A and B are shown apart, each in its own frame.
Chain A
């Protein structure tokens, strides 16, 4: 029982990180029909920005701020202006393929300019366990969970309680009408790209201490975020949250009780079943479909 609770909490913690990444993924899709196959690499990169600053002798806190700023600039602004904007008119597939190329480019640059080895990464949250109802739970998991909840709540408040948030939603739901009623759609789209960059930077800071910083670590994460987004509902922020948490828990429980070798397969089966029987995702709205 204690073991189960432990697995649940660490699963929720990983799931919360998946959810952060998945939320960014769905935001990009909603506002600009961008399927970002480099989303996993987007999580891998900020860790290396921060490590680069750390190696230069900058203190940890300052390095994090530096890493987040660089992420906002490169993974938000430059990504949108240089890659997505010129390709938007060509449709969904060319952007998707360009992001595949981008993911290769990012992995190779880290490997070439930084290191091919796994690098340790300092943690924001102190190590150790806390005792909850007689069960030892790692502080790391609790901290990750709390920070992720704070981030998601803040995002939700932004989207639902502020004027900018309402404008962003309008821009996502119906850009034409939004434009007519005076919403600066272009700027709203840029905001979602910046939010995505912020979310992946946060995810990076939270997950890298657990899994180490490595050029290839984005592959697993990207796939997980991907599955979380689709399972939860491709066009809903809360879908991505539910999908992420569900995936984290299932992944952990599956590895413990079913098969460690095939732990990676369980989310994939979940994905296939959901797409076949409920393509809009567990919480998603149905989109108009071709054929």
Chain B
């Protein structure tokens, strides 16, 4: 597998990113309550997908458990805040819990790889769902936890949909910056080494054991953060959203956007969360269209949409380079013959 590169020397990604940010800041001002809810959901799911992208896209460890971590985070946040603790305590609980569980789930990754790892994380995901559903003393089972309060940030209430949206967006911004820094740090380099050639990484002195565990734990933590935001966003937490389907969906977001690309999860979550709302007229057919789209996309480009973009850019560069070379050769031969 040729790894997608996160570094592109052109200014384009930055310009597109900046334009996207402006849209994200201005657009909500004209949106109704439901629109804001969907945009906030996009921000939350993007955070979870960024986490999975870290585990899968950068470190190359297949995980079908990200949905379970969103669930763990959501329950941690909801249980803490409905018992009178501040949001930040719930968030901290979610982070610590997901870090520890993610770390432990990383251990199987040390023994088995690829599809076996997918199966283990799949089993874990289903187990987590059973715990959410059955441990009524803690999670209130199928009745769910109602009235999850929205946080106050620096004394400001985020009860309103617009305020909470900006809160989600700010969280997404912080997570993105942290991830951006992380993948450029030695840790990020080690993750990519792990994905590309674990044996070589090991021989070069990268502690693959430790980095595999860290990749799992950090990816899970981002899932937990997304969950801690999900709880106050929906203001209700029950087991149904955290089935295996959520893990599948998050995996598809990462793959559709482009796994191993920094902006992949943003795009993938956009397609998965926002598009159904815009395609309301298609109603129930939407998911069918989405499924067909995903299959066609994967057949065409397994590196997702950004993979296609990258290929187009690379093709154009090659063409330009060969044009320059042809021109140079032409001048050279012309000079020689004269």
Contacts and interface: CB of A to CB of B under 8 A. Distances in A.
Interface majority SS (helix, strand, loop, mixed), chain B: helix
Interface string A203-231: 00000000000000001000100110010
A230 to B, nearest CB: 6
A208 B14 CA distance: 54
A290 B114 CA distance: 9
Interface string A80-100: 000100110011111011101
Interface string B120-150: 1011101100100110000000000000000
Given A87-B298, A279-B111, A112 B288 contact: yes
B302 A91 contact: yes
Contacts of A86: 299
A158 B279 CA distance: 49
Contacts of B111: 276, 279
B292 A105 contact: yes
Contacts of A261: 130, 133-134
B29 interface: no
Contact of B120 (A87, A112, A275): A275
A106 to B, nearest CB: 8
Interface string A257-273: 00001101100110110
A244 B285 CA distance: 35
A272 B1 CA distance: 28
A55 interface: no
Interface string A97-121: 1101110110011011000000000
Given A100-B252, A101-B294, A275-B120, A92 B114 contact: yes
B1 A91 contact: yes
B284 A97 contact: no
B132 to A, nearest CB: 12
A291 interface: yes
B115 interface: yes
A35 interface: yes
B114 A111 contact: no
A98 B127 contact: no
Given A96-B118, A101-B294, A275 B112 contact: yes
B302 A272 contact: no
B118 A100 contact: no
Contact of B108 (A90, A275, A291): A275
Contacts of B199: 291
Contacts of A98: 294-295, 298-299
B110 to A, nearest CB: 9
A274 to B, nearest CB: 10
A110 to B, nearest CB: 10
B181 interface: no
Nearest to B194: A291
Interface string B229-255: 000000000000000110010011001
A269 B131 CA distance: 13
Nearest to A222: B244
Given A101-B252, A108-B291, A268-B123, A291 B198 contact: yes
Nearest to B199: A291
A265 to B, nearest CB: 5
Contacts of A94: 255, 298, 302
B18 interface: no
B290 interface: yes
B118 A108 contact: no
Interface residues of A, number: 41
A290 B252 CA distance: 24
A98 B284 CA distance: 20
B130 A265 contact: yes
A3 to B, nearest CB: 25
Contacts of A226: 119, 122
B112 A279 contact: yes
A261 B136 CA distance: 11
Contacts of B198: 290-291
A90 B302 contact: yes
B285 A112 contact: yes
B91 to A, nearest CB: 29
A161 interface: no
A286 to B, nearest CB: 12
A264 B131 CA distance: 11
A277 B134 CA distance: 28
Given A102-B295, A276-B111, A268 B126 contact: yes
Nearest to B56: A93
Nearest to A267: B123
A104 B291 contact: yes
Contacts of A37: 248
A196 to B, nearest CB: 18
Contact of B119 (A93, A101, A109, A271): A271
A291 B114 CA distance: 11
A266 to B, nearest CB: 10
Contacts of A83: 295, 299
B130 A264 contact: yes
Contact of B251 (A97, A275, A289): A97
B62 interface: yes
Interface string A35-49: 101000000000000
**9 shortest interchain CB distances as A-B pairs:** A105-B291, A101-B294, A90-B302, A94-B302, A86-B299, A108-B287, A112-B284, A268-B123, A101-B291
27 contacts: A35-B118, A87-B299, A91-B302, A92-B114, A93-B255, A93-B302, A97-B298, A98-B294, A98-B295, A100-B251, A101-B252, A101-B291, A104-B287, A105-B292, A105-B295, A108-B287, A109-B288, A223-B244, A226-B119, A261-B134, A262-B130, A265-B130, A272-B124, A275-B120, A276-B111, A279-B112, A289-B112
